[in-house]
């Protein structure tokens, strides 16, 4: 295996903890001078503009960190991620859709006891629910179901992984949801 690839894999695996010379000696079975040469070669490889990481030394440990010129963009991304946290009302609405899909907005409102128009729009904008057709009832209301993004966000491979509940219980939760709003 290529020494630089091995070093990169080790640095990635150790993450924030970093690695020191002793650990690298175990991995490479080489003297300190040769390890220093490998570290320097890798540092130079990362120095090019097309790379987003750099090798740094903190005390006795070596770590991979993002380049300073990327910090503002990464901070914005982290802040955006925080805004994607869901409210209790959003989680309740998602649970109803996940268990009862396909379901209309009116049916969701009957269960929750509150208007869900804006919540459904927000959940659609976050790509957590989607339109799945029209109900065969007067007015042909839109039917909703959860999306693949919902599955990813909640780390589900199947809806069977959701906790088991009796659907009649979900229908009788009006008072519960009303009291939480």
If you average pLDDT over every residue of the chain, what do you get? 85
Between 121 and 78, name the one with better pLDDT.
Answer: 121
Start and end residues for every CATH 1.10.10.10 domain found in the chain: 3-70, 88-180
Confirm if 126 and 154 have CB atoms less than 8 A apart.
Answer: no
State pLDDT tens for residues 151-162.
888 888 888 888
The pTM assigned to this predicted structure is 0.49
For the domain spanning 88-180, the CATH number is 1.10.10.10
For the domain spanning 3-70, the CATH number is 1.10.10.10
C-alpha span between 167 and 144 (Å, rounded)? 17
State pLDDT tens for residues 79-137.
655 446 788 899 999 999 999 999 999 999 999 999 988 899 889 888 899 999 999 99
CA 45 to chain centre: 30
C-alpha span between 93 and 77 (Å, rounded)? 26
């Amino acid at each position: 295996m290529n020494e630089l690839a091995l070093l990169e894999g080790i640095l990635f695996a150790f993450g924030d903890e970093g690695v020191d010379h002793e650990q690298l000696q175990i991995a490479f079975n080489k003297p300190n001078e040769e390890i220093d040469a490998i570290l320097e070669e890798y540092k130079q490889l990362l120095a090019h503009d097309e790379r987003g990481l750099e090798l740094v030394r903190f005390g006795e440990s070596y770590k991979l960190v993002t380049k300073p010129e990327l910090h503002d963009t990464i901070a914005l991304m982290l802040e955006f991620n925080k805004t994607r946290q869901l409210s209790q009302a959003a989680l309740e609405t998602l649970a109803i859709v996940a268990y009862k899909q396909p379901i209309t907005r009116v049916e969701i409102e009957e269960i929750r006891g509150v208007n869900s128009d804006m919540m459904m729009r927000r959940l659609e904008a976050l790509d957590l629910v989607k339109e799945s057709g029209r109900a065969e009832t007067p007015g042909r209301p839109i039917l909703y179901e959860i999306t693949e993004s919902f599955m990813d966000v909640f780390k589900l491979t199947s809806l069977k992984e959701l906790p088991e509940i009796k659907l009649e219980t979900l229908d009788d939760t009006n008072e519960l949801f009303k009291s939480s709003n």
